[in-house]
A and B are shown apart, each in its own frame.
Chain A
Amino acid sequence: MNAKRLVLLVGAVLVLAGFGYLVYGGIGNNLVYFLTPSELKAKGAAAIDSPVRLGGMVVPGSVTWNAEAIDLRFRMTDGKGTIEVHARKAPPQMFRDGQGVVVEGKLTRAGIFDASNLMVKHSNEYRPPAPGHVPQEMYRSLVKEAGTS
């Protein structure tokens, strides 16, 4: 093995090591844990300010949505623990009482979960509820207004 090859090899090893370190550190700092409200509460102060994906159900009657201020507040539960959620976002269309939701965000010092992203839990298996939620019925008045019905 000549000197040039050795230099190249050492260089490659160094680059790889540095890169590995970067990846390792990068992943560790950017993991988003998937928790339920009770699990989040069990973590206590350690959970504050670290990004979390929280899965649970909207507690019926807990939703307040202020359209003027784009301010959504509701409580979320997994049956064991309940947590107050606050989002400066419009609720998704299918968002309603008793719906399973996943929110992304951080727990603040005040113990309120600050959500930056809301996702309604849905997949091919979960079809939309029909009663009272048939869009044609919901928005019939809009159709009439537009006169295109």
Chain B
Amino acid sequence: MNWKRSLVAAAAVVPVVGLFYYGMGQDPKAIPSPLPGRPAPPFALNAMGTADTVRLADLKGQVVVLNFWASWCLACRSEHEVLREAAARYGPRGVRFYGVLYNDTPENGAAYIAEMGGQSYPTLLDPQTRTAIDYGLYGVPETFIIGPDGRVVYKQVGPVTPETFTRYVDPLLGKREAAR
């Protein structure tokens, strides 16, 4: 065996594996969204089961988590518990959570929430899917994290994980809490 040559050859492994490792962090199905970094499109929507209207403009200065879902969506079921826990953890720290019902009837939506054992935050109704269009929705679930300055910080396509929040919400809170 000629070990000197071996060592040189071994170096060739690095770029190949590096490329794949990078690729693993990317989602090829994710469609580039023009939204992150831009101001979140404004909305004024009726909260399901109430007469209240929620306006994004009123939420300025707060971190907002907007989760688009539907009762017919299986992936939404899998992320329901994650969202409930995240709302329990971040709610007290001033993060506002809202669901937005997508392409579904309020009756089905309410039945779904009852079936899943309730949800701690309100769901907004978007009857003309106007807000979904403004946010460039491709399907459900999709979740948007909006910073205190009203700009979209992150868009999650597919179900959220606890890491989604630790990675994108924590820094926003850190900045705000430090500023206080």
Q: A: which residues have CB within 8 A of B?
A: 34-36, 38-39, 55-57, 59-60, 77-80, 97-98, 100, 102, 121-123, 125-131
Contact = CB atoms under 8 A, between A and B. Distances in A.
A126 B72 CA distance: 9
**Which one of B31, B74, B141 has the greatest number of beta carbons of chain A within 10 Å?**
B31
Interface in B105-130: 105, 108, 128-129
A127 B71 CA distance: 10
17 contacts: A36-B33, A57-B132, A60-B128, A60-B129, A78-B33, A78-B34, A79-B34, A79-B134, A121-B138, A122-B139, A126-B73, A127-B72, A127-B74, A127-B75, A129-B72, A129-B104, A130-B72
A128 B72 CA distance: 7
A125 B108 CA distance: 19
Nearest to A122: B139
B32 to A, nearest CB: 6
B116 to A, nearest CB: 16
B159 interface: yes
Q: Is chain B's binding surface mostly helix, strand, loop or mixed?
A: loop
B47 interface: no
A127 B139 CA distance: 9
B103 A129 contact: yes
Interface majority SS (helix, strand, loop, mixed), chain A: loop
B70 interface: yes
Contact of B138 (A35, A39, A57): A57
Interface of B: 29, 31-35, 38, 41, 70-75, 103-105, 108, 128-129, 132-141, 158-159
B81 to A, nearest CB: 17
B108 A131 contact: yes
Nearest to B104: A131
A129 B70 contact: yes
B31 A131 contact: no
Contacts of A125: 74-75, 139, 141, 158-159
Given A80-B38, A126-B73, A127-B72, 18 more contacts: A34-B31, A34-B32, A36-B31, A36-B32, A36-B33, A55-B31, A57-B137, A77-B133, A78-B34, A79-B136, A80-B34, A80-B136, A97-B129, A123-B29, A125-B74, A126-B140, A128-B72, A131-B104
